[in-house]
Structure 1
Amino acid sequence: MSVEELSKQRVIYGIEDKPPMGEAILLGVQHYLTMFGATFIIPVLTASAVGFDGVDTARLISLMFFVSGITTILQTTWGNKLPIVQGGTFSFLPPMFVITGAVLARPDATSDLAMQELTGAIIAASFFEIVIGFSGLIGEMRRILGPITIAPTIAMIGLALYNTGFSWLMEDWRVGMVTLIAMIVYSQFLRSKNRAFLLFPVLLAILTGYAFAWIITLAGVVSQGDAGYVSTQVLENSPWIAVPKPFMWGMPKFTLSFILGMVAGYVASMIESVGDYMAAARMSGAPIPSKSRISRGIGMEGVGCLIAGIFGTGNGTTSYSENIGAIGLTKVGSRYVIQMAAIVMLLLGIFGKFGGFFGGMPNPVVGAMYCALFGMIAAVGISNLQFVDLNSSRNLFIVGFAFFMGLSVPYWANTVTIAEGLPLWQETLEDIVLTIAKTGMAVAAICAGVLDNTVPGTKEERGLLAWEDVASDT
């Protein structure tokens, strides 16, 4: 078949098709590269939050890719069986920052202790997703959580770091601005010029900023201790082979308030994943996923989050929409190819020098990524409002109220301390309320969800009919 004839096909390889081994490996590597930027930035953000040094940051990066490989194989083999890559989720970052911030404020705080509390919250809350998925309750949740609830919830993920991004960038404005400008140019101005800029703008921008930092380090413009200085110690101290082990940071600790705060991240992740399943099925030429297939997928994502917690990634696992876009571009919807990508992730997760290379990344590069990526996440959340009637005063009030409270309540909650000498039950209750109040995503979800389901409004006005049409079309 000619290239022209192939280009006219809806898909070249369907879900159950197996391309030749060499071709499958190359296509798998491409999927790995597509998800690389989003996946590796999550452990970098987590490591920064808990105060890890470069060596531990490198270990966390390797852990994330190793677990992503495991969960992708589980999902494509026994879960929804769709060609979807599994990886870390930005939905877990807001509660992660709240948990680590609370732990590190203690007198006996250490980075390992912060990871133990974070790990415990992820493991315990994973059973919420497992139950919601395998029981089939995810369908009921979709009827309750419409676009008016989802829009501010997702947007608050992006706004969680508004007070950190630019300040980190300005620790060395030269490195930070080079990275940020590269990100803008690659993703917005050059995306139509070359496919590499369309698929890998984050990775290329990071490499550009990293390379610039290397240049000014070698030229002696910055010295050791400066924010823009690149040290080779992390790479040198990282082992060639490092097989991940469970509970690398110590045994998990379970605090009820942290667990409940983490549930908000799971809810946002689940709703997003259902949309990804629909899109992946359409892109790969498969039938619309059945309720049982969606339920299996969500349940398996819960299992993946449990595994991520056991290995101590500091994050969970979710479906990656970036790779669904790659299916549309390549017209290759084979889950066999995705399994090849999973094997690549597993191997790189064991290769210690891989994490070591990125573990020494300067803060200004990370800060630039904050500015670009989290702004985009906020905009994606807001885009869900396209389905609702924005001329409705009901909708405008609910959305505006949820946004304002999602920003204002955490600002207040961070100034509150729990009084000493309270009864245990009261101290625990106040701790739970404060943890949730400090998580803007949870506050926005509660405000929007309660009002959208209680204030009178038609399905059309609320955007539920338009959302159902999109789901049925995909």
Structure 2
Amino acid sequence: MVKPDRCKCMGACPQQDFNQTDTLKTLKVDHRPPLVLNIALALQHVMVHASLCALVVGALVPQAGKEKTAASVFFYSGVSTLLQTCFGSRLPLIQAPSLDFLVPALVLLGARAGNHAACRGQCDQSEQFEVPAHQLRELQGMAVVVGLVQLSVGLCGVGGAVLTRCGPLVLTPVCCILGFSIYREAALLCSDHWGFALLTVVLLVCLSQHLRCWALSAHLKLPLYPVVSMLSVLLSVLLVWVVCAALQHCGHITPHSVSELLFKDDLNTTQFHDWTAANSTNLLSAVSTATWLSLPLPGLGLPLLSGDSIAAGIAAGLSSCISSQAVYVLTARLLNAPTPPAQACNRGVSVEGLGSVLSGLMGVPVGLCSSVPNACMTSLSQCGSRATVQLSAVMLLVLGLFPQLTHVLTSVPLAIHGAVLSVTYTVAAATGITYLQYTDVDSGRNIFNTGFTVFMSLVLPRWFRMQTGFIYTGVGSLDIFLQSCLMLPVFLVSLLAFLLDHTVSGTLSEKGLERDQSTRKIQSLANKPQGNHQSLVTVYEPPQPVRKVLDWPGLRKFPFCACRSLEVEKITVTSAEMSGLLPQ
């Protein structure tokens, strides 16, 4: 193996304290950075989470109740993150709302907006005031359904079983679309002010890439860690935020809301946008006042489980399960850790289900799943420490208890949020491309399958977004379910890639697979141990008390057996859990 060239920085380079290769310098899962650096890295995770939260919450909730809802999302995201890092997959993953919930929610609200727009001028005043609360309770019911779907998929072991049958030609398009799926929303957020968005992107690229090995001077260096690179997101956001605040104070710029940007060119949500704008003073009127200390408790009653909210929740739950498991694989690859075993994936999805059910019951209008931009930031910050993510969860809990602090984060201009999402999501797309190295990239089969799945999963959601009345079965709930599934890029790409990879004929070497001579099972070349410096036990094994609970006789049977880990002796002796694919 050829050793990489030494970094040509002036003086000692902090990068040399890590392993020489670029893929091995990320801090390991069980590593604990110094306290000050750990706090800064945790705050950086919170800033990225705030960008995703600003997009989802801002699109669903009018300005009147945005701070209160965002505070609740932060709080239950912190709770779910602690559960995930302690009892779930154990990967350093922040739990947050995502596009998997936003798209079905907009489909649901679009149907509701059409119904209410039809009765304008004919409904009495009492009915008009009851609609916003009814709408929000339906979103809460959708979040509960999402959690139940995630919990069912995790406990039954369906997710882990399917993931072990996904080769490189399935993971490549799924990870690519995981990154490309945000392009429209990120571009619209950046359109709030393209100058500030461009400045943020330039700073992010310079700090994270060009100044990766930068030393201040011959006598003043960063001896332990490349701090400028590790905190590139936080530094870029703070610098541009200060400039924006100064210009906004002087009256040179005017901020916009998320709904104004997202729905200004969307034909199927025009009615919904007009209706929510007209009723923004009524929606969340009971909980719209932001106070210094507020417990994130429901203020509008229990979630409402209607047929439409159940249909939208099932579609969102299925897509979020696929997205989360892709994030598990993505994070493991960025951390240079072993491929996640099926048991860890099942525990992770189950914990996400608990978080979604809890958030829906407590008044949050969206579910929770593993955050893609926070996972991708591992590549930029070079830190995959579990302790850092747990500290971020504590910060999210504090933000959730103090809505005024949440208001500070929600005041960040949308252009900055769009730039952060644009840069972080690119890591997912690029990581997906790396799986092609295990396949025959010159194969016509592989070229067609990959291109077809990626292109169609981007084109079809865009077309169905403009053709809202195309699907009409006579059953409103079924229409919402089908419309939601066909507008979710991750759901489409996973379905197309899985079907094509398992139905189009090809050799094992073409698909990036090989047959293990000892077990006679087909395994993926991407799952084979290739110099991983972290063990399965270190990364994925739950704490000893949790392992004892999972070993109870009652939990050894279906469905709880899907979340039980292998014995330590079996993990260290065999790699079947990592490499088993298409068992025969």
Smaller-chain TM-score bracket:
0.7 to 0.9
Asked if 1:243 is matched to 2:295, the reply is yes
Is the partner of 1:129 in helix, strand or coil? helix
Q: CA deviation at 1:277?
A: 6.1
Aligned to 1:39: 49
Cα separation, 2, equivalents of 1:116 and 1:88: 20
Instruction: Tell me if structure 2 keeps the 8 A contact 1:84–1:338.
Output: yes
Q: TM-score, normalised by structure 2?
A: 0.64
1:175 to 182, 196, 199: 196
Cα separation, 2, equivalents of 1:310 and 1:382: 39
Is the partner of 2:149 in helix, strand or coil? helix
Q: CA deviation at 1:14?
A: 10
Instruction: Tell me if structure 1 keeps the 8 A contact 2:148–2:353.
Output: yes
Aligned to 1:219: 250
Instruction: Tell me if structure 1 keeps the 8 A contact 2:164–2:342.
Output: no
Aligned to 1:193: 214
Q: CA deviation at 1:145?
A: 2.6
Cα separation, 2, equivalents of 1:279 and 1:362: 29
Summarize deviations over 1:269-318 as a string: whole Å, max 9, x none. 123225646877x77xxx99765455333322322232233341624132
Asked if 1:272 is matched to 2:324, the reply is no
Aligned to 2:455: 404
Instruction: Tell me if structure 1 keeps the 8 A contact 2:81–2:390.
Output: yes
Opposite residue 456 of structure 1, the aligned amino acid is S
Q: CA deviation at 1:328?
A: 7.2
- Paired residues, what number? 443
Cα separation, 1, equivalents of 2:233 and 2:382: 20
Asked if 1:440 is matched to 2:489, the reply is yes
Summarize deviations over 1:107-154 as a string: whole Å, max 9, x none. 338876665444433321323332332333333111333332233233
2:109 to 85, 103, 110: 103
Cα separation, 2, equivalents of 1:352 and 1:413: 37
Q: CA deviation at 1:221?
A: 2.4
Cα separation, 1, equivalents of 2:301 and 2:530: 41
Opposite residue 355 of structure 1, the aligned amino acid is T
Cα separation, 2, equivalents of 1:325 and 1:382: 15
Asked if 1:314 is matched to 2:345, the reply is no
Cα separation, 2, equivalents of 1:100 and 1:290: 34
Distance 1:131 1:380, change over 3 A: same
Instruction: Tell me if structure 2 keeps the 8 A contact 1:136–1:295.
Output: yes
Summarize deviations over 1:216-260 as a string: whole Å, max 9, x none. 123332368799xxxxxxxx9732112111476972445244123
Opposite residue 251 of structure 1, the aligned amino acid is P
2:466 to 390, 412, 415: 415
Cα separation, 2, equivalents of 1:338 and 1:372: 20
Q: Greater CA radius of gyration, 1 or 2?
A: 2
Aligned to 1:260: 314
Instruction: Tell me if structure 1 keeps the 8 A contact 2:321–2:349.
Output: no
1:48 to 52, 55, 58: 58
Aligned to 1:392: 443
Q: CA deviation at 1:452?
A: 0.8
Q: CA deviation at 1:406?
A: 1.0
2:142 to 98, 117, 121: 121
Aligned to 1:68: 77
Distance 1:79 1:434, change over 3 A: closer
> In terms of mean alpha carbon deviation, does 59-68 or 435-444 score higher?
59-68
For structure 2, the residue ranges without an aligned partner over 5 or more in a row are: 1-16, 118-130, 216-225, 259-287, 514-523, 535-584
For structure 1, the residue ranges without an aligned partner over 5 or more in a row are: 1-6, 228-235
Is the partner of 2:466 in helix, strand or coil? coil
Instruction: Tell me if structure 2 keeps the 8 A contact 1:147–1:384.
Output: yes
Distance 1:78 1:444, change over 3 A: closer
Opposite residue 433 of structure 1, the aligned amino acid is L
Instruction: Tell me if structure 2 keeps the 8 A contact 1:94–1:160.
Output: no
Instruction: Tell me if structure 2 keeps the 8 A contact 1:28–1:339.
Output: no
Cα separation, 2, equivalents of 1:166 and 1:326: 21
Aligned to 2:545: none
Cα separation, 2, equivalents of 1:393 and 1:87: 39
Aligned to 1:353: 404
Q: CA deviation at 1:418?
A: 3.6
Q: TM-score, normalised by structure 1?
A: 0.77
Aligned to 2:509: 460
Instruction: Tell me if structure 2 keeps the 8 A contact 1:398–1:452.
Output: yes
Summarize deviations over 1:52-84 as a string: whole Å, max 9, x none. 31x63333432233223212332344435x363
Cα separation, 1, equivalents of 2:430 and 2:504: 26
Distance 1:340 1:302, change over 3 A: same
Cα separation, 1, equivalents of 2:42 and 2:185: 29
Instruction: Tell me if structure 1 keeps the 8 A contact 2:179–2:429.
Output: yes
Instruction: Tell me if structure 1 keeps the 8 A contact 2:440–2:511.
Output: yes
Q: Which has the higher helix share?
A: 1
Asked if 1:86 is matched to 2:86, the reply is no
Aligned to 1:184: 205
Q: CA deviation at 1:381?
A: 3.4
